[in-house]
Amino acid sequence: MCSLRIDRMTAEGTTPTTTTTTGMPSWAKKSILIVVGVLALVIAYFILAAFLPRWWSIRVGNLSDQAFSKGISWGLTFGTLCTLVPLLLFTVAWAVRKRRGGKVIAIIALVLAVATAIPNLLTLSIVLGGNNASHAGERTLDTEAPGFRGASLVGAVIAIVLFALLTFVVVRGQRRRAQKRLNAATTNPAASGPTQGTTGAFPPS
């Protein structure tokens, strides 16, 4: 009896062991990572904002070689291609996003779209930027690549018009094909009705 009481008391006296985790909670770690990421992006922005406009203006100046014809031709080339290609890639990403394996293709298309739009974005940073690097880039483009900025804008407008026309043609073609399939679906039962009636009226001998 005594042993039974002792066993019962020890069984009742035992408490379940709880594991306590020490350290920082998960939400605090995520918050720190977000803050560090934002700070890194801000630092990278200021570094690139001070470097890229000057670098891009020098590259364009080397291509144009202080000639109006080269500045205009390069501006039209960059403005058209670096606007039209990203728009087409964005359209591809939107079209395949819900298909099987489309997410990977959409991500690749988006990355390529941003990469091909970088020249226009750099030119835009020079035109719209208000820091010293942007002003230095403007002076370099004015002297080393005359006509480049205006031609880039014209090329971007041409690309947008071409993309709108291409979208109109594709959508119109899709609607026509859908209308043809709908017409074929509605006319096939009417065409097959008399044939079934004749076969039923004259059974094979």
Query: Which tens digit of pLDDT belongs to each residue from 105-145?
Result: 889 999 999 999 999 999 998 988 888 888 999 999 999 99
- Residue 150, burial from CB neighbour count under 10 angstroms (0-12, 13-18, 19+): middle
User: Helices in 14-67 by DSSP H: which ranges?
Assistant: 26-64
| Residue, of 169 and 10, whose pLDDT is higher | 169
Question: For 5-14, 66-75, 81-90, which range has the lowest pLDDT when averaged over its residues?
Answer: 5-14
| Per-position DSSP letters for 70-85, written without gaps between them | HHHHHHHHHHHHHHHH
Nearest to 92 by CA among 81, 101, 102: 102
Burial class (CB in 10 A: 0-12, 13-18, 19+), 189: exposed
> If you average pLDDT over residues 43-67, what whole number do you get?
88
pLDDT score for 140: 92
Confidence band for 4, pLDDT divided at 50, 70 and 90 = very low
Q: What is the pLDDT of residues 139-184, one digit of tens each?
A: 999 999 999 999 999 999 999 999 999 999 988 888 888 878 887 7
- The pLDDT-based confidence of 201 (bands split at 50, 70, 90) is very low
Confidence of residue 15 (pLDDT cuts 50, 70, 90): low
Angle at 178 between CA 173 and CA 184, to 5 degrees: 125
Angle at 56 between CA 51 and CA 62, to 5 degrees: 130
More confident of the two residues 42 and 85: 85
